[in-house]
Chains A and B, each alone.
Chain A
């Protein structure tokens, strides 16, 4: 069995059909090893969210292969072992944090005791203890993002897929999220996250992949990338995107 937690080979995803088809991913290939923190960078419309959707089986490839935790992406058994934080926290506004954890916990097949235990732990971790009974419609954007992170951690996943995890968070909460991600790495978890925040990526990631026009234009360890041109990641990113433009 491959040691890679995520394996994407020559992935092509198109939206629409026929002449109106728009190619979102065009032969994308990525390998992410167990225990890595992989930063997935790219400008708007580059294909970051489509890649994440493909990993979760929400969109279907026209061609290519995707393996997540040794299983095909559409295989929901892999979902038992992963956690996902969406870009914007899309949750049921009529529920409170405790109820949303209970709902997701039941889908994971957890019993009541375990749900209560894990809910307490993850809400404590993200700093939402005491807010369990407040309906999500009364939460701020930052609090919703924390709920998103909490639900992604509920099942103690081996792989975390985070779409813009620090978006909408204040500086203190950002530091907290960084700390959580680093702790996850220390406990052997794999983290795949897309971000526009290059400084965040620079602070957290081991590996970086830059996607543009649905293709991976550069990937490597952060040290490799930074030593190549001895610049900041931001400068490197901008130059790579400029060079990749037709």
Chain B
């Protein structure tokens, strides 16, 4: 495990030493602050809009950070050949994959935490429940883990550019159509219906993690059993993606 942790720490360190991360961070802080501006200007009814905008920006930027950071791990190691001296050390290929996944996830979770800290500050005194904000943060954290593991898996056989493109396509496809696949399957002929249903059950449902509407309208929090089930659901998918990544990578010629 020490090897896994060493690789993860190195990923996080690289993340903080890259200036593009700070640009994203600074932009988001500025945008979130701007979006809270009309609260101070006394515009009535703007609170929900502000929450929607802030949460949408947080969601988008965390997604970009996760995909970009997880996506470059393997291709860059191979392209820059830093993987040679690293794998000549006593770390297995599974340990290497796990370290990369852990590091990319930690870096993204750091960004997520900062963004939510800002959101919490600007939401203070506007009636949004703390439990709901905490749930929203936690579910997005689970989503980061899921996205990072999926992107790491793709990176075992795709180039960086292809990986980023495919990851965004898959993410948005599932986010927008995932919930409707089952309904669509019912209206199709036998074979397409089977394929559609198969996709519905095989693909991870990113829409499960989005409780933005709940936070915007201050609805009651998600029941604890549902959050628990979602945690187990995420763990299963993360384990499956890491395992698949290892299966592809373990015999990869470097």
Interface residues of A (CB under 8 A from B): 15, 53, 56-60, 76-77, 79-80, 82, 84, 86, 88, 90-92, 94-95, 99, 103-104, 106-109, 148, 151, 161
Contacts and interface: CB of A to CB of B under 8 A. Distances in A.
B45 interface: no
Contacts of A15: 253
Contact of A82 (B5, B6, B13, B88): B88
Nearest to A105: B6
B84 interface: yes
B13 A99 contact: yes
B12 to A, nearest CB: 11
Nearest to B76: A92
Contact of A59 (B3, B18, B82, B254): B254
B91 A94 contact: no
A79 B90 contact: yes
B89 A108 contact: yes
Given A94-B13, A99-B13, A107-B6, A84 B81 contact: no
Classify chain B's interface size: 20 to 34
Interface of B: 2-3, 5-7, 9-10, 13-14, 17-18, 80-92, 251, 253-254
Contact of A58 (B10, B18, B82, B87): B87
Contacts of B3: 106-107, 109
16 contacts: A53-B254, A56-B87, A57-B87, A58-B254, A84-B88, A90-B83, A90-B85, A92-B14, A94-B13, A99-B13, A104-B85, A106-B2, A107-B2, A107-B91, A108-B90, A109-B90
The secondary structure that dominates the B interface is helix
7 smallest CB-CB distances across A and B, nearest first, come from A106-B6, A84-B88, A90-B81, A79-B90, A94-B17, A107-B3, A58-B254
B81 A86 contact: yes
A84 B85 contact: yes
Given A56-B88, A79-B88, A82-B88, A103 B254 contact: no
B90 A60 contact: no
B84 A77 contact: no
A103 B10 contact: yes
Contact of A76 (B82, B92, B253): B92
Given A76-B90, A106-B6, A94 B14 contact: yes
Given A107-B3, A109-B2, A151-B85, A92 B91 contact: no
A53 B2 CA distance: 24
B6 A88 contact: no
Nearest to B88: A84
Contacts of B9: 103, 106
Contacts of A148: 85
A91 B90 contact: no
Contacts of B85: 84, 86, 90-91, 104, 148, 151
A166 to B, nearest CB: 18
A60 B87 CA distance: 14
Given A80-B90, A106-B6, A107-B7, 19 more contacts: A56-B87, A58-B87, A59-B254, A60-B253, A76-B90, A77-B90, A79-B88, A79-B90, A79-B91, A84-B84, A84-B88, A91-B82, A91-B85, A94-B17, A106-B3, A107-B3, A107-B6, A108-B89, A151-B85
